[in-house]
Amino acid sequence: MSDTLTTTGTTGTAAAAGAEWSGSAVVTGAAGGIGAEIARALAAAGVPVALLDREPGALRELASELSAAGGTVLAVAADVTDSADVDAAVAKAEAELGPVAYLVNGAGVLHSGPAEEFSDEDWDHTLAVNAGGVFRVSRAVARLMVPRGRGSIVTIASNAALTPRTSMAAYAASKAASAMFTKCLGLELGRHGIRCNVVAPGSTRTSMLTALQGDAAVRASVDGVPDAYRVGIPLGRIAEPAHIADAVLFLLSDRSAHITLQDLTVDGGAALGV
């Protein structure tokens, strides 16, 4: 595990947000895409953020960016499929940034292909990261939150957790597992004042989407693919990472103080409200 700590003084934004935010945040999958955008939004709100990912180079770049903008960040290279790695990373975040009050489970991978041709290795890796990672990181953070009697956890799932997709059986199954785990965790932790919610994005402008077929994947998401039984996006556009970050920050913050065990879909209507 390698890490880089960058700290700054309190910014004007942090002071203004003080009444709403209290404590530090852990964001997994922070090296890019949705995770990076959520980290930017938290840092801009004055929240100290621990950035967790397996990509140390990208983490250092993001940490430098957020530090230059006045944020307080800790970059920790960690593997969410390794319990010892996760426990050490969360302990370091708590020690360096103060009490962890917010967790965003953003780490995820996508292996696609027909189910009958899917390999054991890709299935195991998908479940280990997308579901197992949520379990391991949430467990480590919950152990810190319970004695304090407060906290907010948000898991990034997918609208594929509720709507079947061809060639995405492993991804959809893993996201469904992570969503239900998060809700069960919220049921158990509610008595301790800890809220657990899910944000389910649809097609979002990230490297995960463009890696499928580039611009063609974006067009297919918007227009739909009849042969694959997939409708398009009623709003006529894919999401930007900032759209997902806005939903996550709402559910993390005190503005959603009486909301828990909920699944907020942010997909432009692609799942037709399911």
Active-site positions? 171
Q: Which residue has the tokens 């370091």?
A: 92
Centroid of chain to Cα 129: 12
- Is the CB of residue 41 less than 8 Å from the CB of residue 245? yes
CB distance 274 to 268 below 8 Å:
no
Cβ neighbours of residue 30 closer than 8 Å, sequence gap 6 or more: 36, 38, 39, 49, 51, 52, 53, 59, 62, 106
Burial group, residue 95, by CB count within 10 angstroms (0-12, 13-18, 19+): exposed
Question: CA-CA-CA-CA torsion for 115, 121, 122, 127, nearest 10 degrees?
Answer: 100
Give the position of tokens 């780490």. Answer: 107
* Three-state secondary structure call for residue 12: helix
Amino acid sitting at position 234: P
Which amino acid is it at 49?
Answer: V
Tell me how far CA of residue 174 lies from CA of 34, 90, 168, in angstroms: 18, 23, 10
